[in-house]
């Protein structure tokens, strides 16, 4: 049953926590596909709370508190006193009466045990190194998601093109053995998933499902029998799995980690990231903080890749900071067709030296010749939040995968 706008708004919170059931999620996406204002409101909502969750923690340098009566702390382990109590008492009397200085230290806290030296060495431990492993889960997850997505696209392409089944089996075999899917799967399963916060459960479900799917595909690749039947079973396994849907739901997780640092004049190839929520054809999301650091210029090229193997939308994480979304007009950039046709989308983001504007130049190097789009953000006289007002496309629905 289709959702109404108020119903959809009720789901916003659970949606950004990835707590919707697949049925609810589908209805939600369908509603956003049809309702421009809800799509806008949801994007804004998501942007705000992504930013909230990224607000850094406070830090303290205070040492671990330990009270003077620290003997309480040790009580639980002293199930059997090592020496009888009368001996302890006698020793204490001796200490108190005989060796004044030591007795004084003993009665308080001995610096060797509780003093600042121990704390200073521990204070140097960077808490982030404990919370987040050096090998970031976000980076792994992003790559894992891309590779899992590509399996889905491979299945789609193999179906629509009616390619030679033997060849397609080999393509699946090559892809799975050549990609780091298994390695990433092991990493994501074994890592300390606490750092993923509320995404822990969906990430676990996703990795489990991909693991099962890989096992199924592996089985079909290795078994004997007609290639046509085997490839059909692989296609069915992929299409029936929840992997694709989960991957889209998890895209938010990748955003929280690993925003690449771009140095001055560095040329980067920006990899595509699914940003297609079902209501927008070709869109590009940018996270940027150019206004803070206006001396930098970023230039990138989105490459089309093999047909069907990449999402048309690209997610660029240039800098930590404000998120904005740019939608390229459907009539100028024809979504999937243009990018998958081997064309390139050149992106040049230049902070204007004069008034702090960010100018993003999109150049579609398609077969029909270059087409240019200039998008301007900000400027000293215009608040940056206007950048959030760009509207998503609606007419791209028919081109969705």
| Shortest distance (Å) from residue 259 CB to other proteins | 13
Tell me which stretch binds other proteins (CB under 8 A): 119-127, 209-217, 222-230, 344-352: 119-127
Cα 292 from chain centroid?
24
Give the Å distances, CA to CA, from 154 to 148, 150, 164, 169, 399.
10, 6, 13, 11, 18
- Which of 188, 196, 283, 314: binder of other proteins (CB under 8 A)? 196
Contact 300, 267 (CB under 8 A): yes
357-366 and 369-378 beta bridge pairing: antiparallel
Q: For other proteins, what does the binding mask look like between residues 279 and 318, x meaning CB under 8 A?
A: ----------x-xx--------------------------
Tell me which stretch binds other proteins (CB under 8 A): 81-89, 122-130, 148-156, 332-340: 122-130
Kindly identify the residues of this chain, within the stretch 165-194, that bind other proteins according to CB under 8 A.
194
| Shortest distance (Å) from residue 316 CB to other proteins | 17
| Shortest distance (Å) from residue 170 CB to other proteins | 42
Give the Å distances, CA to CA, from 81 to 34, 90, 92, 113.
74, 15, 15, 21
Using the minimum distance from each CB to other proteins, give the nearer residue, 156 or 376.
Answer: 376
Tell me which stretch binds other proteins (CB under 8 A): 51-59, 234-242, 342-350, 357-365: 51-59
**Going by C-beta distance under 8 Å and a sequence separation of 6 or more, which residues neighbour residue 302?**
269, 270, 272, 314, 339, 344, 345, 346, 347
Tell me which stretch binds other proteins (CB under 8 A): 46-54, 92-100, 163-171, 306-314: 46-54
Tell me which stretch binds other proteins (CB under 8 A): 60-68, 147-155, 177-185, 361-369: 60-68
- Which of 2, 4, 5, 73: binder of other proteins (CB under 8 A)? 73
Size of the site for other proteins (CB under 8 A): 59
Using the minimum distance from each CB to other proteins, give the nearer residue, 244 or 249.
Answer: 249
| Shortest distance (Å) from residue 79 CB to other proteins | 10
- Does position 322 interact with other proteins (CB under 8 A)? The reply is yes
């Amino acid at each position: 049953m289709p959702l109404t706008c108020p119903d959809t708004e009720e789901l916003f919170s659970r949606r950004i926590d990835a707590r919707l059931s697949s049925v609810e999620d589908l209805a939600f996406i369908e509603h956003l596909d049809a309702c421009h204002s809800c799509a806008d409101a949801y994007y804004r909502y998501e942007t705000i709370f992504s930013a909230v969750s990224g607000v850094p923690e406070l830090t303290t340098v205070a040492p671990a508190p330990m009270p003077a009566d620290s003997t309480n702390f040790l009580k639980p382990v002293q199930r059997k006193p090592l020496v009888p109590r009368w001996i302890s008492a006698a020793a204490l009397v001796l200490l108190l009466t005989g060796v004044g200085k030591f007795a004084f230290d003993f009665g308080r806290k001995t610096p060797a045990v509780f003093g600042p030296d121990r704390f200073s060495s521990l204070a140097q431990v960077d808490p982030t190194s404990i919370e987040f492993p050096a090998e970031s889960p976000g980076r792994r997850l992003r790559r894992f998601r891309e590779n899992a997505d590509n399996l889905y696209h491979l299945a789609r392409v193999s179906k629509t093109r009616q390619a030679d089944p033997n060849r397609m089996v080999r393509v699946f075999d090559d892809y799975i053995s050549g990609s780091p899917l298994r390695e990433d799967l092991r990493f994501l399963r074994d890592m300390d998933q606490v750092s993923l916060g509320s995404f822990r459960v969906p990430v676990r479900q996703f990795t489990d499902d991909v693991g099962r799917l890989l096992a199924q595909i592996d089985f079909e690749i290795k078994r004997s029998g007609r290639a046509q039947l085997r490839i059909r079973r692989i296609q069915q396994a992929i299409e029936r799995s929840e992997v694709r849907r989960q991957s889209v739901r998890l895209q938010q997780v990748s955003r929280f980690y690993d925003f690449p640092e771009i140095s001055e004049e560095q040329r980067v190839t920006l990899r595509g990231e699914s940003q297609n929520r079902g209501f927008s054809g070709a869109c590009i999301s940018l996270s940027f903080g150019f206004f803070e650091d206006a001396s930098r210029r970023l230039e990138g090229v989105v490459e089309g890749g093999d047909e069907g193997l990449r999402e048309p939308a690209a997610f660029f994480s240039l800098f930590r900071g404000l998120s904005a979304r740019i939608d390229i007009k459907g009539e100028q950039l024809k979504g999937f067709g243009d990018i998958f046709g081997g064309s390139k989308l050149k992106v040049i983001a230049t902070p204007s030296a004069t008034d702090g504007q960010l100018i993003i130049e999109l150049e579609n190097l398609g077969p029909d010749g270059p087409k240019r789009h200039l998008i301007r953000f900000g400027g000293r006289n215009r608040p940056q939040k206007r950048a959030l007002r760009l509207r998503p496309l609606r007419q791209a629905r028919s081109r969705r995968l």
